[in-house]
Structure 1
Amino acid sequence: MKVIFMGTPDFSVGTLEEIIKAGHEVMAVVTQPDKPKGRGKALQYSPVKEAALSHNLEVLQPVKARDEAFIEKLRQYNADVFVVVAYGQILPKEIIDMPKYGCINVHASLLPKYRGAAPIQYAVIDGCEYSGVTTMLMDEGLDTGDILLVSKVKLDEKETGGSLFDKLEDVGAKLLVTTLSKLEDGTITRTKQIEEDSTYVKMIKKSMGKIDFNKSAIEIERLIRGLNPWPSAYTSLDGKTFKIWEANCLTDVEYDSSKLTEIKPGMVIKINKNSFVIKCKEGYLEALSVQLEGKKRMDAGSFLRGYNLEEGTIFNS
């Protein structure tokens, strides 16, 4: 098939590579404009642009996808299908209706659950047993188009946003190639989404990572995993940002009740050789991997050997 590929971040690259490997003709790659980065403000290519250039593919970078000149340029390719994977712009109806087989989106959730910008992180944060990838025939709504194919993935007990990202990138790439084959031979089945089952998730912001110890240890531990590696979950210690990268949930902890007479959420109630335990509203959080502002990430044992953390210390105080 003649394909126009649209994508921007790392998650999109695997799908582009699989399309090429499957022998489809990628006529052009559309990605977001280069962005200045670092002190020198040098322009940085998107991961998709770098991948496209490595294959000597034509790259288009419209500031706005609604630009008439860009739409006319797309029309000239006479492509069979547009493949969209985390492109980052809303496509107008004129583009969606242009190719013979439509615009196919690879979405990292089991639609209609988790429509929107951050389905991977929320699957971990919400403690889902399964996540997955859906290929969808795009319409003008936000992830509302007909479902084509679905692939489910079971989350590991210690799944992070990063590890699930890697799994779904690979699953999505292979699912898209299968979708193209079924579209071409006419064996694909379109399934309407059930609106009553739909949920939307917003874009992840750094502020979401602030730990509230007035929540349960289970909720906090999921937040830690869901926001790993970005933007990470954090609290504060002695006025400095303190990130917790890995933790366990505990239901019962023995501590020195003669020393700690009033236990509050956010309080360190026990220090072990290689971990320390924080009281939450419900249950206890055992910190295993941490990072104090200005320092590298390290296991809790190494942190404790270099920092005089005492029982009774309250985070976020």
Structure 2
Amino acid sequence: MTKKDLRIIFMGTPEFAVETLRALVEADYNVVAVVTQPDKPVGRHHETLQPSAVKQYAMSKGLPVLQPEKMKDPVFVEELRSFEADLQIVVAFRMLPEIVWNMPRYGTFNVHAALLPQYRGAAPINWAVINGEKQTGVTTFFLDHDIDTGRIIMQEPFEINDDYNVEDVYNGLMKLGAEIALMTTDRIIEGNGHVPSLPQDEMIATGDVLHHAPKIFKETCRIDWNMPAKNIYDFVRGLSPCPGAWTNIISADGKDTVLKIYKTSKTGMKSTSPCGTVLMEKGCMYVCTADELLKIDILQLSGKKRMNASDFCNGRKELRIKS
């Protein structure tokens, strides 16, 4: 079997998935169609439809694009079947029903941005950084009935430096994900559709604690100043630059405002005031935590531009965090 013999359908939506699709196309794999989310209404009155990043790239390469509202729609299923794909590759897409993932003769594999079985779920990159992990990675696995539980084909690790935020890890895993997708596809070609894979249950040792990666909501991003400084430091970088960790502040005039925090620094200076106490000294902003002062470096007031904390402190004499 060669690249041209293997008919591939690619499924994905955001920029993260484009890197893998681009790698497949530029390496001359036979991508016969692309499946992505329907165009999203944007603008003040939702008057404009915005195509996904994957759709934009696919159209620029003249690839057929399918955008089903429902994955079980009989019309979509038959259209998908008409492409006679041997393999489906999924990157950052929605959950698929069995009638879809089981359609190709060689199955469907997913590229997941974590070292499964750790961090199953919708936000593995964020949670790995929030939890202070030193290493994450990418995994390819065959889809089955449950989310992120299929047989593992390949894994590649990625080191998380202490100063990395989500964007740094996202960019690294995006490139690594494209590489592992091609390596996995090559293994399938070399094996004429057959490739060794390992059940995830066999990778879980007795006593192992599995970390999960559920979807992140606004309330998930609220900072708990009662935690140790290291935990808050990791929490902030695990949500920066998007969606952003936040807290409520009350100014000297009593105004209650949401403050997003995008970067902090550990100081090693012991905190002696109640957790959440704000200290502004010599143009620097510190917040008391459970153990030490945490320096605030970059922040953004609701409705304002992102700025350095030193600029924010200018002219401010009193500030407190709303408990």
What TM-score does the superposition give when structure 1 sets the normalisation length?
0.92
Gaps of at least 5 residues in structure 2 are 1-5, 251-255
Partner residue of 1:52?
Answer: 58
The answer to whether the aligner puts 1:147 opposite 2:157 as a matched pair is no
Question: 2: CA distance between counterparts of 1:174 and 1:141?
Answer: 25
User: Is the contact made by 2:36 and 2:55 (CA closer than 8 Å) also made in structure 1?
Assistant: yes
3-state secondary structure, aligned to 1:57: coil
Gaps of at least 5 residues in structure 1 are 255-261
How big is the shift at 1:314? Answer: 2.4
**What letter is aligned with 1:216?**
P
Aligned alpha-carbon RMSD (Å): 1.7
Question: 1: CA distance between counterparts of 2:96 and 2:304?
Answer: 43
| Per-residue deviation, residues 91-115 of structure 1 (Å, max 9, x unmatched) | 1212222112210100000000001
Question: 1: CA distance between counterparts of 2:278 and 2:18?
Answer: 43
Say which is worse superposed, 245-254 or 13-22, in terms of deviation: 245-254
Partner residue of 1:269?
Answer: 279
Question: 1: CA distance between counterparts of 2:249 and 2:66?
Answer: 47
3-state secondary structure, aligned to 1:194: helix
Partner residue of 1:43?
Answer: 49
Say which is worse superposed, 240-249 or 171-180, in terms of deviation: 240-249
Say which is worse superposed, 184-193 or 110-119, in terms of deviation: 184-193
3-state secondary structure, aligned to 1:234: strand
Say which is worse superposed, 7-16 or 186-195, in terms of deviation: 186-195
How big is the shift at 1:230? Answer: 1.5
Partner residue of 1:72?
Answer: 78
Partner residue of 1:24?
Answer: 29
The answer to whether the aligner puts 1:250 opposite 2:267 as a matched pair is yes
Question: 2: CA distance between counterparts of 1:123 and 1:46?
Answer: 26
3-state secondary structure, aligned to 2:279: strand
Q: 2:212 aligns with which of 193, 197, 200?
A: 200
The answer to whether the aligner puts 1:308 opposite 2:316 as a matched pair is yes
Runs of 4+ residues deviating >3 angstroms: 195-199
| Per-residue deviation, residues 109-132 of structure 1 (Å, max 9, x unmatched) | 000000110000000000001010
3-state secondary structure, aligned to 1:4: strand
Question: 1: CA distance between counterparts of 2:105 and 2:190?
Answer: 13
The answer to whether the aligner puts 1:219 opposite 2:231 as a matched pair is yes
Q: Percent identity at matched positions?
A: 38
What TM-score does the superposition give when structure 2 sets the normalisation length?
0.90
Partner residue of 1:257?
Answer: none
Aligned residues: 305
How big is the shift at 1:302? Answer: 1.6
Question: 1: CA distance between counterparts of 2:66 and 2:17?
Answer: 15
How big is the shift at 1:40? Answer: 3.5
How big is the shift at 1:50? Answer: 0.7
Q: 1:181 aligns with which of 183, 186, 193?
A: 186
3-state secondary structure, aligned to 2:174: helix
